[in-house]
Amino acid sequence: MKREHEAEALSVVTGLAAGWLAFAVIVWLHGESPREMAGLLVGGTWGTAYGAGQVIFKATPILFCGIAVHIGLRAGLFNIGAEGQMTIASLVIAAVGASLGASTPALLAVPLMLGCAAIAGALWAAVPALLRAKLGAHEVISTIMTNRIADALVGVALGLGLAEKGTVRSADIAKGARLPRLEAFLPSLRGSAANTSVFVALVVLLLATVLWPRSRAGREQWLVGLNPVACAAEKISVPRRLAEALIVSGAVAGLASAATVMGYKGYYEGGLGAGAGFTGLAVALLGRGRTSGLILAALLFGTLDQGGLALNAHIPRESMQVVQAVVIVAVALGDARVRAFMARMPRPAAAAKAQP
C-alpha cells in the first residue's frame, strides 16, 4: 500500500514538474522571464478578488467533470465522454429553461433544470454504458464517438430552430432558472462569473467521495474495478455495475452545464464550456479520488485557464492550454490505471492475426 501511495505521489509530482517545465520553455521562447510571468499569473488570478472569482468559476465545471471521471475510474472505466455529456445537457437545459414561464419561481425552476441536466447527461452516457455492459465495447472508443456525435447534434439542433434568429445561441432561460452570482453575497467578487453552482459541485463531490463509496452499489462498483472476474464468481452482476457507474458518471458530467448555462450566460451557445470534460480527466487523475485532491486539482486548472488571460499581453493565451495538455499527458503516462486501460484496448494487429 505504501509503495502504491508513493507511486501515486510520484505521478502527480511528475505531472506538475512537466507542466512547470513546459511553462518555462514557452515563456522563454517568447523572450520573457519565467519568474516574472509566474508572478503575473499568480497576481492575475489569486492576486485580486476578481481574479479569484474567475478561477472559481472556471474551476466549477472542471470539478463536475473531474468527479464524473472519478466515478468511472472507481469501476475500472475511463469516461472520455464527459465533454459530450456536458454539451448535450447544456443544450437540453437551455431549451427547457427557455420554455419556462417568466413567472416560474426559482424554487421550482432550479431543481427542474438540475434534474434535466443530470438526466440528459445520464441518457447520453447510457449508450456507451450499454455497449460496454452487453457487447464488451471499450468505453474509451464509444465515449469518444459520442463526443463527436454530440457536437454534430448540437450544431444541427441550433441550426434547425433552437438558436435565436441570426445568432448561434439559444433563447434566454427564465429568470427563475438562473443561479445567483457570488457577488450577490460577496461584493468584492463583483464582475466575476463565479456563481452558486460551485456549492452544487461541492455537494456532489461529497456525495461521490464520502457517501457513494459506502453504499452497496458504490462498494460493488469499486470491487468490479479491482477484479471483475472475482466479482462475477461472487455473483455480483458485473455488467450491471459497469453500466450504472458510467450512467452516474454521465449524470454528474451533465450537471456541469449548471455552471455555464444557469450561472453564467443564461443561454447556450456553441462552444460554451468546451474543454471542461477533457480537463476533468486530469482532475480525476491528479485528485486520486480524494475530496481535497479533486478540489485542488480543479483549482489548479482553473488558475491556468484564467492565467492565460492574465498573460495574454506577453504570451498567447493558448500557451496555457499547452501547459494543461502537458500536465494531462505526464500524469496519464505515470498512472497505473491508465496503463491498465491501454492494456485492455483492442489491438488491430492482434485482431487481424486472429481472423482466419
Query: Has residue 347 been placed in a domain?
Result: no
Query: Has residue 342 been placed in a domain?
Result: no
The CATH number given to whatever domain includes residue 306 is 1.10.3470
Query: Has residue 140 been placed in a domain?
Result: yes
CB-CB contact of 282 with 327 (8 Å): yes
pTM over 0.75: yes
Query: Has residue 34 been placed in a domain?
Result: no
User: Is 263's pLDDT higher than 70?
Assistant: yes
- Number of domains forming the structure of the chain: 1
Q: What is the pLDDT of residues 187-228, one digit of tens each?
A: 999 999 999 999 999 999 999 999 999 999 999 999 999 899
If one counts every other C-beta atom within 10 angstroms of the C-beta of residue 212, the result is 18
Which of 18-22, 89-93, 114-118, 142-146 shows the lowest mean pLDDT across its residues?
A: 18-22
User: Which residue do the cell numbers 486520486 mark?
Assistant: 288
Q: How far apart are CA 95 and CA 202, in angstroms?
A: 26
Concatenating the DSSP letter of every residue in 189-236 gives: GTT---BTHHHHHHHHHHIIIIIGGGSHHHHHHHHHHH-HHHHHHTT-
Query: Has residue 165 been placed in a domain?
Result: yes
CA-angle at 49, arms to 43 and 50, nearest 5° = 85
For residue 147, which of 100, 83, 201 has the smallest C-alpha distance? Answer: 83
User: Is 346's pLDDT higher than 70?
Assistant: no
Confidence bin at 156 (pLDDT 50/70/90):
very high
Query: Has residue 44 been placed in a domain?
Result: no
Structural domain for 288, as ranges: 49-312
Query: Has residue 89 been placed in a domain?
Result: yes
CB-CB contact of 243 with 75 (8 Å): no
User: Is 83's pLDDT higher than 70?
Assistant: yes
Query: Has residue 72 been placed in a domain?
Result: yes
User: Is 172's pLDDT higher than 80?
Assistant: yes
